[in-house]
Amino acid sequence: MDISRADLQRALERIVQIALDRNDTLPELPVVKVNHDFVQAESQLLNTPLPENGQGLNDIFSTVYQTVLKDAPSANGPRYFGLITGGTTPASIVGDFVATLYDLNVSLHLPKETVATAIEQLTLDMVLDLCYIPREAFPGKILTTGATASNTVGLMVGRQWVAQQRWNIDIAEDGFCGKTIRLIGGRAHSSMIKAAAMVGIGRRNYIDVSLDDEGHQWDLDQLEKILKEQQVKDVEASIVVVGYGEINTSCFTNDVLKIRELCTKYDAWLHIDAAFGLFARAIPTHAHMAPHIESADSLTSDGHKWLNVPYDCGLFYTKHVDVCEQVFGAKSAYLATANAGGADIRQPLNMGIENSRRFRALPMYMSLLTYGAKGYRDMFASNCRFTELLGDWINENPELELLMPVQLNNVLFSATAAKWNTQGGNDAFIDAIKETGLLYVSKTVYKGKPAIRAAVSNWRTNIDTDLPITIKGIEKALQS
């Protein structure tokens, strides 16, 4: 398995060259190269057998460059507005590379051996600082693989707490014991429903109490009625999930304080899914959109979206450290005894799903410190300004319809011409946009109608240079 120093050096130098070139040229590269030959190439690729003898690192590097890297989408480029993709700051790329180089397993708090666990706690605390949330609000915190994982952890901890609170049942030890836990929300993100399926709550036990398509206004009377009935019948309890914000429109749930009061009154758990919306709090003009976030029992956010660190990285916070340990606590003796001295840092493996975990904090830590709170605030504000200006342009263009006034960093729109206006037409319009290679967007459905979503969440997205190119791309697609 040995490799010569010269071979390793050559491969590393190639990485450095690619990193520098990509850093210089990313804004000019096609956002995506749509090529139907890729489909054929994929089938051939799948038939490749494992070779008996190794082929050498640099030959393989060349092959990978040709087949995978050369035509890869510029997913971390400035006009990739699909999903909520985010980018990767140079500091986070360096951090990620270093995390791989050392390959620490951040599963145990070993204060005499490494400060890695402390760095993870600190990184999570600094994100709270960035969003003006007191660190004390969430003593429990851990990095996950993404918001879906964080939402899953939230439901795992929430179900443990409500069952204990209501019936003195320990789900981690004994299972559901015939009880039903429901998830109540308003236009909750699909990952919440997926999480409900994964943790034994069940997809069908999701109840939507929203009064609109944005999950903005809730039927609080219905919420109270459900929670009250659950107490009377005594075989059901609930986790309530608030969306900060909704994926299509970036709308935030209203009346969070009232929802909090109802949760407290009826022993329900309050989870806030703020995958991207958490960072509204860091922008002075938008902070009012996400109030009372510190009142959540558990909170989800994402690192690999608007924080611009590489995949995979999610954030999870909770007020209930002990409940996490009941759910995730490892029973092995050698694991349980590892916490000797040091600060009050919990064993990561007792706070989340994974036992073995990469040093996921390092890219975020290095990025936060490299740019500071101001660097991040300015990026969030600039992305929002870009989105507003794009929304204004769409609104004034008779060939396009802005489906929702811009709230944060999402633009929701469709084309007005009859040929673009059906499901198939909308898909074709999105394909035409992608074919330009100038920008990337996602398809969605809003109020039952096909629509297009552009989410701006990249540190490189520049109003002066990228807005004209974005507009040119949409205009070109309209003419096709």
Ligand X SMILES: *Cc1c(COP(=O)(O)O)cnc(C)c1O
User: Which pair of structure tokens corresponds to residue 61?
Assistant: 């590097």
Of 219-227, 271-279, 332-340, 468-476, which part binds ligand X (CB under 6 A)? Answer: 271-279
CA 323 to each of CA 1, 140, 153, 158: distance values in angstroms, whole numbers, following the listed order:
45, 10, 11, 8
> Which CB atom, from 96 or from 236, has the smaller least distance to ligand X?
96
Binds ligand X (CB under 6 A): choice among 93, 199, 247, 309: 247
CA 456 to each of CA 31, 250, 282, 406, 407: distance values in angstroms, whole numbers, following the listed order:
14, 12, 16, 12, 12
Residue 303 CB, nearest distance to ligand X (Å)? 9
Please give the single-letter amino acid code of residue 322.
Answer: D
Binds ligand X (CB under 6 A): choice among 85, 88, 117, 148: 148
Cα separation, 460 vs 24, in Å, equals: 11
Of 15-23, 145-153, 346-354, 405-413, which part binds ligand X (CB under 6 A)? Answer: 145-153
Under rule CB under 6 A, residue 302 binds ligand X: yes
Of 31-39, 141-149, 209-217, 366-374, which part binds ligand X (CB under 6 A)? Answer: 141-149
Under rule CB under 6 A, residue 84 binds ligand X: yes
> With contact defined as beta carbons under 8 Å apart, do 422 and 449 qualify?
no
Under rule CB under 6 A, residue 182 binds ligand X: no
Of 130-138, 229-237, 273-281, 383-391, which part binds ligand X (CB under 6 A)? Answer: 273-281
Residue 184 CB, nearest distance to ligand X (Å)? 16
Cα separation, 211 vs 215, in Å, equals: 7
Under rule CB under 6 A, residue 189 binds ligand X: yes
Residue 25 CB, nearest distance to ligand X (Å)? 27
Alpha helices in 204-310 (DSSP H): 220-233, 256-265
State how beta strands 180-185 and 140-144 pair.
unpaired
CB atoms within 10 A of CB 346: 22
Residue 149 CB, nearest distance to ligand X (Å)? 6
Binds ligand X (CB under 6 A): choice among 162, 275, 404, 415: 275
> Which CB atom, from 277 or from 473, has the smaller least distance to ligand X?
277
Residue 347 CB, nearest distance to ligand X (Å)? 24
State how beta strands 314-318 and 140-144 pair.
antiparallel
Under rule CB under 6 A, residue 120 binds ligand X: no
Cα separation, 375 vs 355, in Å, equals: 34
User: Which pair of structure tokens corresponds to residue 394?
Assistant: 């769409």
Which residues make up the interface to ligand X (CB under 6 A)?
84, 146-148, 189, 191, 247, 273, 275-276, 302, 314
